Amino acid sequence: MSEHYIEFRGVYKAFEDLAVLEDVSFVVDRGETSVIMGRSGVGKSVTLKHILGFLKPDAGRVVVAGQDVTDWDEDQLQEILRR
Ligand SMILES: Nc1ncnc2c1ncn2[C@@H]1O[C@H](COP(=O)(O)OP(=O)(O)OP(=O)(O)O)[C@@H](O)[C@H]1O
Ligand SMILES: [Mg+2]
């Protein structure tokens, strides 16, 4: 559980030798709107795919809807993705 609606806590993600997310941490609270900005290829879509659970981090934790979903499978994610 987290007090935040969405939270990345020290997230790392690499593809082969390419590190895309390196120790990424941020929070989004309920009712907040946040923007992810950056040049092409910097990892914006990879970040969003972690929130949706389509990608899993190599390290770190991902919180969605206040719950740590890092280790959740697709079936478990369906329930919160509806929100
Ligand atoms: N499934 C994957 N396998 C291997 N590499 C990937 C995969 N998904 C993304 N990448 C790589 O991760 C990096 C970040 O990609 P991402 O799609 O997140 O960029 P982006 O910030 O969304 O760019 P754009 O502004 O063009 O949409 C890129 O170098 C991309 O090639
Ligand atoms: Mg993109």
Mean pLDDT of 2-7: 94
| pLDDT tens by residue, 7-56 | 999 999 999 999 999 999 999 999 999 999 999 999 999 999 999 999 99
Q: Which numbered ligand comes closest to the C-alpha of 19?
A: 1
Q: Rounded distance, CA 53 to CA 70, Å?
A: 8
Query: Is the entire prediction scored with pTM above 0.85?
Result: yes
Q: What residues have a C-beta under 5 A from ligand 2, the ion? A: 44-45
CA–centroid distance, residue 20 to ligand 1 (Å):
8
Domains along the chain with CATH numbers: 6-81 (3.40.50.300)
- The one-letter code for the residue type at 3 is E
Angle at 3 between CA 20 and CA 79, to 5 degrees: 75
pLDDT confidence band for 81 (50 / 70 / 90): confident
**Substitution site in 44, 52, 56 for ligand 1 pocket (most atoms within 8 Å of beta carbon):** 44
State in Å: Cα 45 to ligand 2 middle: 4
